[in-house]
Amino acid sequence: MTDLRVAVVGCGGMGTIHARNLTALGLGEVVTFADAVPEKAAALQAAVGTGTVSTDIRRAIEDPSIQAVVIATHHDSHPDYAVMAANAGKHILIEKPLALTVTAAQRIVEAVVANDVQLMVGFQARFAPLVTRAKVFLPQSLVSTGQMIDPRWGEASWAQSPDRGGANVISQGVHTFDLLSYFHDSEPVAIAAGGGAFTHPGSALIDSTVCTIYYANGSTASAVIGDFGPAHHVKKSFYQLFDGEGKSATIYGYFAGLTLGDGKETREATTVAQLSPEEQDDYTGYRALMREFAASVGEGQPIRTGATAQDGLLATALAIGAFTSIRERRIVDLADLG
């Protein structure tokens, strides 16, 4: 599959990663680099070496010559651009979070379903090689803990703004919410959370949480999320999974280390250095995500590993549910949101 024609909307950090991976893997071509800031689009176009530059986002998305759109803008514009792309019949790779509200995320799901297009959310951790090994060994977790912690985010960062970013829990924490749902292989139905504006005192935004997630199948997980500084050993992320029948899996060091146990002894201890060169180069999963997206669009394959629009909605709902739970000091049913 080499003829996927794509518009990249949002030519900053993640737009760059996706554009480079699409082209470097020989999966397709970027036809338009679109950004509100023309210099950003021009710089990426020059680096990739194909396509044209535009600030006319609608025109880039509705271009009849493209099949897919990569949306890597700030969070406030995700819903409008995703709905625009779906209504134009384009398949969509969209960065997380799907939206800043449950209602907006639902709009995206409805447009994707109504137009019968594929949407994959940029939850690349599902494709990390050590996550894949953990999932093969322990396909369904009964009890888990997940942790994702950043260095403190600066006040000036767009991701810290209420309208464009939403702060750490909804910006970054959705990775953890989604990966836990993937490990539990069940829909989250409720959340109970503590937390607050711990690293940005006085802010109206919640930047830190410790929460319990309830799944439809009765299993449960806890998550620790925030920008209060990574732990020195497990670094930015850490997951520990138990199947309830003796198996456990521990993923640490931001997907760079894994141990698998059977209750009695360690079955396998793997670090990124022991992976194949190809896996080492993609140990966080971005290229594998692009491969599956291209296959789903180009060859009509269903999304198997990647996060669908519904998965993106659920991750957003968990973040919004955590905020409601913290503010109202109660367990929140996700069905009541939106």
| Residue 273 token pair | 């250095």
Pick the piece of the chain touching ligand NAD (CB under 6 A) from 67-75, 233-241, 296-304, 322-330: 67-75
CA dist 174 and 156 (Å) reads 21
Q: Please state the separation of Cα 162 from the chain's center in Å.
A: 19
**11-30 residues near ligand NAD, rule: CB under 6 A:** 11-15
Pick the piece of the chain touching ligand NAD (CB under 6 A) from 33-41, 127-135, 308-316, 320-328: 33-41
Q: How many residues bind ligand NAD (CB under 6 A)?
A: 22
Pick the piece of the chain touching ligand NAD (CB under 6 A) from 9-17, 141-149, 260-268, 303-311: 9-17
287 lies in the site for ligand NAD, by CB under 6 A: no
146 lies in the site for ligand NAD, by CB under 6 A: no
Pick the piece of the chain touching ligand NAD (CB under 6 A) from 73-81, 220-228, 253-261, 316-324: 73-81
Q: Which residues pair with 69 in a beta bridge?
A: 7, 92
| Residue 282 token pair | 């993609």
Residue 204 CB: number of other CB atoms within 10 A? 8
Tokens 């960062």 sit on residue: 157
CA dist 209 and 147 (Å) reads 10
Of all residues in this chain, which one has the CB nearest to ligand NAD in the complex? 12
* Residue with smaller CB distance to ligand NAD, 75 or 90: 75
CB of 165 to ligand NAD, least distance (A): 8
Pick the piece of the chain touching ligand NAD (CB under 6 A) from 74-82, 196-204, 265-273, 298-306: 74-82
Q: Which residues pair with 324 in a beta bridge?
A: none
**157-216 residues near ligand NAD, rule: CB under 6 A:** 158, 171
Going by their DSSP bridges, the two strands 119-121 and 91-94 should be labelled as parallel
Residue in 20, 43, 77, 210 binding ligand NAD, rule: CB under 6 A = 77
Which has the closest alpha carbon to 98: 115, 86, 116, 114?
Answer: 86
* Residue type present at position 119: L
Four-residue CA torsion sign, 190, 196, 199, 202: positive
1 lies in the site for ligand NAD, by CB under 6 A: no
